[in-house]
Every structure is written in C-alpha cells, then in structure tokens.
Amino acid sequence: MDMEWRRLSGQKIELPILEAVEKTLIRESEAGHKLKVCIGTDSQVRGKIVEFATVIVFLREKKGGFMYISNYKYQKKMSIKERMILEVSQSVQIAYKLCDLLDLHDIELEVHADINTDPNFQSNAALKEAMGYILGMGFVFKAKPHAFASSSCADKVV
C-alpha cells in the first residue's frame, strides 16, 4: 500500500517518506536537536469501515516534538485481535522501511502498540503476538501506558 503522509497542520508531505524523514533528520541534527523516533498506529471502527492512522513521531530531547501522519481505511469486518495485529504490522512496516536510515543517523527507534497490558481489556488478546512480532523484528517494543505514539498521537488523528 502506497501511503500518503501529512503534517499535523494538514500540509501534505510531497516527497517519498524515506526522503522526507532523511531531510528531517539532517535538518534537526543541524539545528542541534537529539532525536528519538516512535512509530505507532491506532484504528477506529466506524460502521463497516475500519479507519487507521499511522504516525512517525520525532521527539526532540527536552524540546517537544512533531509527527508525520498517514490515514487509510479498510472495508472489512475484523476481530479486535486481527485489528490490533494489523495496527502493529503497519507500524512494523514503516519501522522496517526507516530503520537503516535511523541507524545511519544514530537515532533511537521505538515501535508503540495500542495494546493494553491489563488482561481485563479486549486488546490484551493480541499482546503476546504483537510483542513477539515487534521484538522478533529487532525493534524496541512499548505497550500501554508507555505507547504514546499509538495511544495518544495516532489516537487523535484517526
């Protein structure tokens, strides 16, 4: 799936995402910022459509941050577990696309899953698989309440 990206302001990112991120890393580094990148996805069911938002969050050490956003929809009925795994897989795909570039610039990367570690929540059904998938791909894994990229940032734009 070819994803379209935008800023929170709505401004479209015209460059391919890899190029846009590289320019961002260079610009931020030249401005003296130390960055960390967190990637997360959230979804909402709206009738027969599942809407997703994936975010790439750039955190400036002690200086706030900003994000790139991609929204997309699926018209498919799915279980909560399937939806959670799809969220994680979207985040992992983006992380995988960016990881060599981030390594090159020595930028820390985390993949955030909008999955509750409390077994009383439905999303917990996908926790083991999501954690295994993310860690198995070699990425740092964060779940709720530490997964702000998915549970706060993506949640606001889905």
Q: Mind listing the domains of the chain with CATH numbers?
A: 5-157 (3.30.420)
- Cα–Cα distances (Å) from 121 to 72, 112, 118, 145, in that order, read 25, 17, 6, 13
Instruction: Give alpha helix (H) positions in 6-146.
Output: 17-30, 80-104, 127-136
Share of the chain above pLDDT 90, in %: 91
Q: What is the average pLDDT across 117-136? A: 92
Query: Is 80 exceeded by the pLDDT of residue 111?
Result: yes
Instruction: Name the token pair of 28.
Output: 């931020």
- pLDDT, greater one: 2 or 76: 76
pLDDT at residue number 72: 95
pLDDT at residue number 2: 73
Cα 142 to Cα 57: distance, rounded to the nearest angstrom: 14
Confidence of residue 1 (pLDDT cuts 50, 70, 90): low
